[in-house]
Amino acid sequence: MNIEWEQKIGYSFVGLMAGNLVSILVLSLLVILPLLGILPEFSKKWHPTTPILFLVIAMVSMLAWVLIGLPTVLLLRAEIVADFYRAVAAFIGAILGASGMLLFYVMLDGGLGSVTNPGALWQTGPLFADAALIGAVAFAVYCSLVKRALRKGSKENGAPGGTPRSLAWFDF
Contact indicator for 33, 42 with CB cutoff of 8 Å: yes
- Supply the DSSP string of 131-171, one letter for each residue: HHHHHHHHHHHHHHHHHHHHHHHHHHTT-GGG--TT-TT--
Structure confidence by residue, pLDDT tens digits, 99-138: 988 888 778 776 556 667 777 777 777 788 889 999 999 9
pLDDT of residue 38: 81
Q: Could you tell me the residue ranges of all domains in the chain?
A: 5-162
Q: What predicted TM-score, i.e. pTM, was given to this entire model?
A: 0.81
Percent of the chain with pLDDT over 70: 80
Query: Which residue would you say has higher pLDDT here, 51 or 141?
Result: 141
What mean pLDDT is predicted for residues 79-97? Answer: 94
3-state secondary structure of 55: helix
